[in-house]
Structure 1
């Protein structure tokens, strides 16, 4: 038996315990028991002490916190126990000008973005529904809006009338992404060509890691949220993941270690439900044996990570963004994303993704079962007497020193520029140039064509 998010014990009363009552009132409610030690064992109060507290506490709590909890008096073996039962309040409750919130068995003072989000929630507002007075509809990308219109009409989730509406009519009347003629944050993220102008960290970061200590190469995907989803999927499938080729009749089939539909669902979930107020980008870490999607978030009040895989009604942290993605036919129904990921992996023969994190951060881990896939495809090829092609789109697997790292990157991307190469290996441009020239002198690398229009060619050992 231990304290939890709904229970706390105190041997005696002290006015500092008003913080506990404040925290319960701002969260899901709870019971403060006076007369138990920190192990939950009954120690009791004297009859005189209990009588004084029964008279004092209702007035004290009401005067300081503005609420009136229920107080039960329980007598046992000549001693007393007081149970202060606190309900959850829709309006924010403060203690001496500070706001406390029950998290697990602790009482946390809310500050900064956490306090801002808390107060917004108590007012029935969401982070993506806050306006950005400086931004105008003219700044939004007309091409992205046009693509959205087509997606929404083709899926029959919005009427064809929107094809004739101006951008202003679409944003204001149909999507309701303004308030008092000011754009909401959701509109900026969804349709602005550079949302980072107004929202710090509104991009996606992808990296390929040999291990947790060494990143081989990385990319940042910026732009509106629709572009971020599209370009990130493209990078994952063409640069970061290894596909195996098999044949079905005359047709070539590319098989990835994780089903595309599951990757797409994980990506869209991260984009839609991310806590953009944190300033931290979505991070996708690709390893030789796994892929991890990580993003900051705010779980609904009372939820734990386990609830994400339950059938609870979804409560999107960014309801305006989620609604627009639904109209664009990019999400089916709110609350089923993780279950759909799991089903897609099982149907594909891949392990189910692992969901972990906390109230403020979620990560989804896919196990890369390419070794199992290679074995299955090899057996199939033998049975069908067909050759098994080697993997394509192979990321760098065994970097050790800078020259080897450079050769492997150039083998993957022969058109890369020196500044881009320097950024990927984490070296200066001058140091990168020195290593490249050395590789050229050793005959391990050559430049084909001009400086601007040419490309790099890694020399194989048997070509030397």
Structure 2
């Protein structure tokens, strides 16, 4: 087994493993195995029972607070396995420093991440912290509350009820973000031409309420992906990309992003798709599968989430992905979700039905399913040459109709029908 973010191997016991213990306790837990060389050969540990006691003493003497962990010995191979659980009382320090895993390396966390760990350990969120600026106005929020909830005036009691004011009468960061003016990063929107070198339109929405940013970015979407047609005496609005999906993706980006960094939400608009990149990866404790299936709702910004829920900008917590996928019912293209340590990207393709495909694309698509098939198998079943099959697959992948999984000889292709998970 190769090393990764949650697994490390050590040939012998040195104090360097204590940094990784700190990292695992701070971020999701993990396993360290002693007695395996860097090239994966099993070496084993001499006198493993005594070494286990040594490991235990080193952890108890060096990590603060002491994390939960288990030590086991494989009697046959003499490999020692140390399993470290994700801790509840973060941050976990080794020699006054907190660590995290960066792929297969263990590195010290920076000041921003350390502050996040401290908040997480205290059960608090960034949006609930006191705002630096206490001179705030809320005309945009008041108008929204009047429109959606029939609240005539946004009094201090209402602000307390929706969580924007603490018991001492101080505004929090959520209030600052919802205020008419703020100093947080906003939404950077760009409409591209045939290539990314051609920018047809550029709008940056910032220094205004995130509710106003939401409305502004929605209007820009409508400018490029909606148009009216006359069918007899009826005017119909055609949505090239479902507005429901775009609204949900944009609202999720505002609610779930990290607000303690200066990065903007990026909305990139192309002829065939919109990409929305939100700063901050998945919340700690949430897996990609849980995110995609809406099984768990871990709000990074619960105060903002509550306001968006009250204003019906999000329907309910944890259902955003399902709602985006439902908006593409009947389309051969589906939303695509990709993840990195610091971002979540949602790609919303232009709606494509079977009627929008060329005859060759339709013929090839009909032999695909949600079970992966090799290009050779697809070529054989469709009757196309290998070269033509690969050309058609490339076009369908680009439009989000087909997904490529694996690499090399293990490459498979599946119809993009369900969850939209990409392998990033």
Name the TM tier (shorter chain): 0.7 to 0.9
1:141 aligns with 2:141: no
SS at match of 2:171: strand
1:9 aligns with 2:9: yes
SS at match of 1:24: helix
Equivalent residue, structure 2, for 1:250: 233
Equivalent residue, structure 2, for 1:429: none
Give the superposition deviation at 1:52. Answer: 4.1
Alignment of 1:130-279 (within 5 A): 130-136=129-135, 139-153=136-150, 163=152, 167-178=155-166, 180-190=168-178, 192-196=179-183, 199=184, 201=185, 203-210=186-193, 211-222=195-206, 223-238=208-223, 240-241=224-225, 243=227, 245-247=229-231, 249-279=232-262
Mapped partners of 1:44, 1:319: distance in 2: 48
Cα pair 1:257 1:373 within 8 Å, conserved: no
Equivalent residue, structure 2, for 1:126: 125
Deviations 1:256-315 (Å, cap 9, x if unpaired)? 211111111111111111212221221111112221111202412243444321232210
Equivalent residue, structure 2, for 1:37: 37
Mapped partners of 2:102, 2:33: distance in 1: 18
Equivalent residue, structure 2, for 1:74: 74
Deviations 1:428-464 (Å, cap 9, x if unpaired)? xxxxxxxxxxxxxxxxxxxxxxxxxxxxxxxxxxxxx
Mapped partners of 1:106, 1:95: distance in 2: 16
Q: 2:83 aligns with which of 64, 82, 85?
A: 85
1:100 aligns with 2:85: no
Mapped partners of 1:169, 1:368: distance in 2: 44
CA RMSD across the alignment: 2.6
Q: Is the alpha carbon distance of 1:134 and 1:287 closer, same or farther for their aligned partners in structure 2, counting shifts above 3 Å?
A: closer
Mapped partners of 1:143, 1:73: distance in 2: 62
Mapped partners of 2:261, 2:203: distance in 1: 20
Deviations 1:413-432 (Å, cap 9, x if unpaired)? xxxxxxxxxxxxxxxxxxxx
Mapped partners of 1:44, 1:143: distance in 2: 65
Mapped partners of 2:292, 2:49: distance in 1: 48
Alignment of 1:15-34 (within 5 A): 15-34=15-34
SS at match of 1:151: helix
Deviations 1:139-196 (Å, cap 9, x if unpaired)? 222353243144135xxxxxxxx546x5211112443533532211001111x11112
Structure with greater helix share of residues = 1
Q: 2:350 aligns with which of 363, 368, 381?
A: 368
State the TM-score, normalized to the length of structure 1: 0.70
Cα pair 1:207 1:285 within 8 Å, conserved: yes
Deviations 1:45-69 (Å, cap 9, x if unpaired)? 223xx35423422222111114264
Equivalent residue, structure 2, for 1:314: 297
Mapped partners of 1:73, 1:64: distance in 2: 22
Q: Is the alpha carbon distance of 1:246 and 1:370 closer, same or farther for their aligned partners in structure 2, counting shifts above 3 Å?
A: farther
Cα pair 2:189 2:202 within 8 Å, conserved: yes
Number of aligned positions between the proteins: 353
Cα pair 2:164 2:174 within 8 Å, conserved: no
Equivalent residue, structure 2, for 1:57: 55
Mapped partners of 2:52, 2:324: distance in 1: 54
Mapped partners of 1:343, 1:214: distance in 2: 32
Mapped partners of 2:23, 2:248: distance in 1: 35
Mapped partners of 1:373, 1:265: distance in 2: 27
Unmatched 5+ residue regions in structure 1? 154-161, 377-464
Mapped partners of 1:268, 1:171: distance in 2: 21
Give the superposition deviation at 1:39. Answer: 4.7
Equivalent residue, structure 2, for 1:326: 309
Mapped partners of 1:63, 1:96: distance in 2: 10
Q: Is the alpha carbon distance of 1:362 and 1:373 closer, same or farther for their aligned partners in structure 2, counting shifts above 3 Å?
A: farther
Mapped partners of 1:242, 1:145: distance in 2: 29
State the TM-score, normalized to the length of structure 2: 0.76
Give the superposition deviation at 1:219. Answer: 1.2
Mapped partners of 1:302, 1:124: distance in 2: 14
Equivalent residue, structure 2, for 1:410: none
Equivalent residue, structure 2, for 1:422: none
Mapped partners of 1:235, 1:130: distance in 2: 32
Cα pair 1:304 1:358 within 8 Å, conserved: no
Unmatched 5+ residue regions in structure 2? 359-424
Cα pair 1:305 1:355 within 8 Å, conserved: no
Cα pair 2:281 2:344 within 8 Å, conserved: no
Q: Is the alpha carbon distance of 1:253 and 1:327 closer, same or farther for their aligned partners in structure 2, counting shifts above 3 Å?
A: same
